[in-house]
Amino acid sequence: MGVKRKLGAALAAIFVLAACSEPQQGAAPQGAPAPQVEVVTLEHSALALTTELPGRTTDYRQAEIRPQVSGILQQRLFTEGQMVAKGDVLYKIDAAPYQAALASAKANLQSAEAVAHNAALKAKRVKGLLGSKAVSQQDYDDAQAALMQAEAAVASSEAALQSAQINLAYTTITAPISGQIGRSLVTEGALLTANQTQVLASIRQLDPIYVDLNQSSSELLKLKRQMRGDATTEVAVDLLLDDDSQYAQQGSLQFSEVSVDPGTGMVTLRAVFPNKQGDLLPGMFVRARLHHGTDEQALLVPQAAVSRTPKGQASVLVVNSNNEVEARVIETGRTVAQSWQVLSGLTAGERVIVAGLQKVRPGTRVSVVAAQAAADSQTVAQ
């Protein structure tokens, strides 16, 4: 029994000596030089805040041409695809029936006016005889009622005349807006019906032109927060075409939808662009770059310095004033060239390790050299 106790004590002493002889975690072995790391010293820089979104061009305005009276189409007075101005004559419907209706309405009005004139004279005579008791009160009342009926007939005839004039004017179909007119869906001789469902043609106003952009609701919240820091209310927009060329003229952001599409979680932003040359056509896929301010105090950290924690958080290793390594969880924003925008977790002047990360851990004392790519990491690229 005593032998076993002595053997156990000897083994315990060996383990204690071995533990004392091991170097502490994170510390360099005695006599070994401190590991060398390359660092970038963070500095404030001006960062243009931009957001690139996919979109599609759409008409600024669109008008569908339909007849407002029935009749036979006599003329088409435009060339398909041409630009038309508001008020230009597009179609003419056979006006003969409406001219006859107008002439009849004029005759009816003249007849009603003659009856009213005669009724007014009779009422005046009866009124004069009423004082001498030559006529009864009933005769006077009948004369006044006849006058009122004649005046009502005149008003009705005037309304009928105005309606006939309107219908005759509707036989000439004009452009309600300026723009490019498409192909005609009817030809001369077609029977048209007032307010029919089939359109005769459509006019699209393409100058200016809208670009509808899609963005997730979460990204829209970030965009609105960034825009609140900018005193300007108008957001400038650049347009990138399918061939990666940039559209010559700059547009502006107009509004956003007030609701989120429950199926996709997306909202729609609308920008408007001048289009005098007609280079932009409805239905084109484009990319828009929104300029919504400048962050004058931006911090950029090289992407090589950023890793992810098991929880998915961005983290970096920094060297403190004692040349010891510290782990720091940060919040990142947009990518700028080969760097991340830092939203929180770091301040200007701190030294972030960009090379030699595999040789150190938090608490390690290190030897520091400036990274050669430090200047490049602070360059703001659009």
Q: Which residues of 242-252 are buried (b: 16+ CB within 10 A; e: fewer)?
A: eeeeebeeebe
Question: How far apart are the C-alpha atoms of 275 and 263, rounded to whole Å?
Answer: 33
Q: Which of 227, 339, 351 is nearest to 291 (CA)?
A: 227
Q: Which of 290, 143, 137 is nearest to 222 (CA)?
A: 290
Question: In sequence order, what are the beta bridge partners of 209?
Answer: 273
Q: Which whole-number Å values give the CA distances from 61 to 40, 206, 210, in the listed order?
A: 53, 8, 9
pLDDT of 227: 62
Question: How far apart are the C-alpha atoms of 274 and 5, rounded to whole Å?
Answer: 95
pLDDT of 296: 82
378 secondary structure, DSSP code: T
CATH-assigned architecture of domain 51-61+205-293: Beta Barrel (2.40)
User: What three-state secondary structure class fits 284?
Assistant: coil
What CATH code is assigned to 95-170? 1.10.287.470
102's tokens: 């107008």
Q: Which of 209, 278, 242 is nearest to 58 (CA)?
A: 209
Q: Which whole-number Å values give the CA distances from 210 to 54, 121, 204, 342, in the listed order?
A: 13, 66, 12, 34
What's the average pLDDT block by block, 10 residues per block, for the chain (382 residues)?
A: 49 44 49 84 86 91 96 96 95 97 97 96 90 86 94 97 97 96 95 95 94 83 63 76 90 76 84 91 92 82 92 93 92 86 91 90 90 51 39
Domain ranges of the chain: 33-48+296-377, 51-61+205-293, 95-170
Q: Do domains 51-61+205-293 and 95-170 have the same CATH topology?
A: no
User: What three-state secondary structure class fits 321?
Assistant: coil
Question: How far apart are the C-alpha atoms of 157 and 107, rounded to whole Å?
Answer: 9
Q: Do residues 200 and 216 lie in contact, with contact meaning Cβ atoms separated by under 8 Å?
A: no
CATH-assigned architecture of domain 33-48+296-377: Beta Barrel (2.40)
Q: Which of 91, 96, 88, 90 is nearest to 190 (CA)?
A: 91
Q: Do residues 362 and 327 lie in contact, with contact meaning Cβ atoms separated by under 8 Å?
A: yes
pTM of structure: 0.64
